[in-house]
Amino acid sequence: MNTYSPLDVEVRTHLIELAETIGARPTGSPAGRRAEAYVAGVLERRGWTVERQPFSCLDWAPGPVRVRADGRDWAAVPSPWDRRATSVAPGSRPTGSRRSRPPTWPATS
């Protein structure tokens, strides 16, 4: 017989709420805002003071990307977490290193 501690049950409840009920939380999405409100509410009910600090970040959507250079198409995989890449959003400065670039491969047809 499995016996679960109250902490086990509570953690499982939060994981189910965030991962299954709210689900995927892309940047800036309504689901992301619901997750933020859920976590803030849990912390506040526990007596914590919650302070939200807005910040800017790149938004992205998964999907195919092509880069055309020197008359050839090159496949590209965008990743805002890849510190080797240089990315620029409107009104921002470049990030990452210009010395080390991720490899590129010719696009497949």
What DSSP string runs through 34-79?
Answer: HHHHHHHHHHHHTTPPP------------S-EEEEETTEEEEE---
Mean pLDDT of 64-91: 66
Write the pLDDT tens digit of every residue in 3-49. Answer: 889 999 999 999 999 999 999 888 778 898 999 999 999 999 999 99
Residue 70 confidence class, pLDDT cut points 50, 70, 90 = confident
* Sole residue written with tokens 């590129």: 104
pTM for the whole thing? 0.53
pLDDT > 70: percent of the chain? 61
